[in-house]
Amino acid sequence: MAGEEPNDARPRQDAEAPQDARPDRGPQDAPPPGPDLAKPPSGGTGETIMMRPRRAGDGGTNAAGSGAGGAAGAFGPPAPGDGGTGSAPAGASGSPATGGPTPGRGAAGAFGPPAPGGGGSGQVRAGGFGPPPGAGDGPGATVGDAGGFGAPAGSGTGSAPGVGAPAAAGTDASATGSFRLPAPGPAQGPAPWEAPQNGGSHGATAAAGPGATSGGGFGPPTEGYGGGYGGYGPAPGQAPAAAPGWAGAGTLPPPPTAPPGGGGGEARPLQAALIALLNLSCLGLGYVVLRQWLFAALCWAATAGLLVTALPADADGVPQGVLVGYGVFLLAAAADGARRGLRARITFGATVRRLALPLAVLLLAAPVGGAVAWAGAHEDAREEARQQALLARLADADALVKSGVGTDFATAEPSYRRALTTYQELARDHAGSRAAKLVPASLDAYYEAVSAPYDEKKYCAAILPLKHLRSLPGTVDKALLGDRPAGTDEPLAHSLYECGAGALSGTATAAATDHFNDLTATFPQSPYVGKATTAVRDAIRAKAAAVADTSVDRCATTEELRALRTVATGATGLSLAGARADADRGVRKGVFACGTDQFGDEEFTKAVETMNQYVKDYPDGESVDHARSIAIAAQIAAEEPEAGKKLPPATVPGGARMTMVVSNDADDEVELLYTGPVTGKITLKACGGCRSYERLDTLRPGFKPCSGPSSKYPKVTIQLPAGKYHLLQKRAGTGFSTAGDTKSSKATIEPGYSYTNCLYVTKGLY
């Protein structure tokens, strides 16, 4: 292929490794810029290698000299410097060398990098370690076993049985699997874990001369990047690379191991961020990656404690101190994980390295999602607690309403109003709550409870509750009440009528008057207004008829009739003019009938009062004279019960009358009451110069009052029909029932006689 330069002189790569395929690369591990394989390195001429295996013994040459030989299957890159020759076993590919004349060779499968500098030779046995030779310009050889290390060397020759190093000039050879240590110099090659471009091994270069490395081994790199197939050595005058190599027969070398989280090394910010993010997952996964199990356990314990405290979510939530403390702990764990992971050497595969950081970010979804879910559950719990609290308020209000059932409204009204306030607040301030949705049903129960007396036909007790219900639109939202207040109109009108009509049967008619007036004022078009008018009229007629019935208590009937007359007069909204006239007539008859009944029942004092009231109220009444006679007879009967055996006649008897002259022999005025066939009363003025007699004076023989001149004594003449009479003298200004101030006596009037009667007063002992 001489003279043809392809666009890409690199071999085809089966799997391109990333620049950072291992996590444990230090600052010295960064690869130098890759060589341009499309042109030869500076300081020599050659052809571009096509990177394909050759037959055994097939060597390559360059413009300056022979190439080094390699084992079967090995690739020999060109080496700058003096010309040299080399040979390779069967299947090896020899690359031209620009170094000295000393050929290099490597075992089968090795890749020999070019070696700059003068001639020299070295050989490393399989597995052996060659110590670095001393300084010098002569050829030297280092022999090591397979898998051994070739130590770097200066100029000169030397040999050691364990480590093979490149000499300043000469030929190096490494056994199968050997590892060549870097030669000193400023340039650096790839890190030990950098994977070759297409499998196989890297060859290391010596300070001068071609070298050969057995299959799969690392030789020390030259100034150029010796980690790929066909890498070039350093330009003339430049130091060789110093990166060590690893030899292994046809296989990729494993990276050097270091404990996770340990040691120094290159700072890895992305790795630190990864560990921090893993610790932020609340599970201490960053510590797990670092194998810091104690700290991971602390994270687990803290998270478990938070879960125990927070779950299940309730209305009270988690104490603020717990949340703050856990947040501080979590941030501290993230910061500590970032610190520990910044320079930690952690083994990651390429796939894991690419996915680790995204996965760590995704893991944050667990605590974030958990926090969001808990916040939702907490909010649900708070909302449920709020709903339960509102339902409890509603239940308390309902209990207040139930407690008022069966009690007097005036006593229960404060409880009713508190319940009503609660209903209104729930409906207005918590419209979307479950309690607010139950308020209409509670209001229905409220109306039912308050109006319970009406349902029980306790009409008088129902008036105040029904008025309360009807007045609610003035204090409660009308939209909340709906048409409930209107439903109380008919019950209230009915209750007013029934309660008023019920009062007509007694004497407490003031309530009837008030209820009927309330009825006509509130519901003037109600049919109960007409019913109330009829009820009052019928009650008056019934009581007026009852005063003529001697089988009933006509005094009580008269009082009831008198009360009905008050209703008929006071109920201005009712048409009761005719009923009032009937009530007047009935009361007049009832009073007289009551007085006669009292006289017949020997209730003489009451009879006197009743008849005197009758005479006063109805001076023009048809029975006024008879009432006066009954009152006089009742006064006499109070002192002399025998006088009350018979009611005085309503009419004056005819026939002859006898004269009786009555004189007053006392120094004070006196009334003389008499009853018999006729009843009457006369009054005698005081006698001037008269005195009261001693009791002993009345016992002397021949005692006779009114014995002085007749003109001295005040006199009254009365005409009496014949018959037996009861007389009672009552001194003026005294009560007729007071002993000593009154004196009763009897008299018989016979036809054909005239009579005198002297009234006097005695004092002293009887």
| pLDDT tens string 593-614 | 999 999 999 999 999 999 999 9
**What pLDDT digit, counting tens, does each position of 355-407 carry?**
777 877 877 787 788 888 878 887 888 889 999 999 999 999 999 999 999 89
**94: closest CA among 57, 131, 46?**
57
| Structure confidence at residue 26 (pLDDT) | 42
Q: Measured between alpha carbons, how far is residue 28 from residues 18, 206, 220, 233, 254 in Å? A: 17, 20, 14, 19, 18
Cβ proximity of 101 and 65 under 8 Å: yes
Name beta bridge partners: 727. Answer: 674, 745
The span from the CA of 129 to the CA of 151, in Å, is: 8
Predicted confidence at residue 764, as pLDDT, reads 63
Nearest to 182 by CA among 143, 227, 141, 248: 227
**In contact, 37 and 226? CB cutoff 8 Å:** no
Sign of CA dihedral 293, 295, 297, 303: negative
CB atoms within 10 A of CB 354: 12
Amino acid at 303: T
Number of C-beta neighbours around residue 26 at 10 A = 13
Query: Measured between alpha carbons, how far is 437 from 441 in angstroms, rounded to an integer?
Result: 8
Helix axes 577-600, 554-570, angle to 10 degrees: 160
Closest C-alpha among 296, 273, 268, 270 to residue 283? 296
CA R_g for the chain: 71
- Contact partners, residue 379, CB within 8 Å, separation at least 6: none
Task: For 148-175, give the secondary structure using H, E and C.
Answer: CEECCCCCCCCCCCEECCCCCECCEEEC
Opening angle at CA 428, ends 424 and 429, nearest 5: 115
- 619-625 — which CB contacts under 8 Å span 24+ positions? 621/588, 621/592, 623/592, 623/650
- Calpha distance 76→188 (Å, rounded): 20
Q: For the chain, list residues with pLDDT below 50.
A: 1-251, 258-263, 734-740, 766
Number of C-beta neighbours around residue 498 at 10 A: 22
Classified as helix, coil or strand, 129 is strand
DSSP string computed for 470-485: HTGGGTS-HHHHTTTG
Q: H-type helices in 343-458, by residue range?
A: 350-363, 365-404, 409-429, 434-450, 452-455
Return the structure tokens found at 93.
């590919």
Report pLDDT for 539: 93
| Helices assigned H by DSSP within 601-659 | 604-617, 624-639
Residue that is written with structure tokens 């019913």 in the block: 531
Q: Where are the beta strands (DSSP E) in 668-734?
A: 670-675, 679-684, 693-694, 715-721, 723-731
- Return the structure tokens found at 661: 């002259």
SS3 570: helix
Contact residues for 738 (Cβ-Cβ < 8 A; gap 6+) = none
- Nearest of 638, 628, 657, 646 to residue 723 by alpha carbon: 657
Q: What is the pLDDT of residue 254?
A: 56
Cross-strand partners of 169: 118
**Residue 696's pLDDT is what?**
81
Place of tokens 């890409």: 8
Name the strands in the sheet holding 670-675, side by side, starting at the edge strand that comes first in the sequence. Answer: 679-684, 670-675, 723-731, 742-749
Model-wide pTM > 0.75:
no
* Cα–Cα separations (whole angstroms), residue 552 to 270, 508, 546, 548, 602: 117, 20, 7, 9, 17
Pair 243, 211: CB distance under 8 Å: no
Q: Give the chain's length.
A: 766
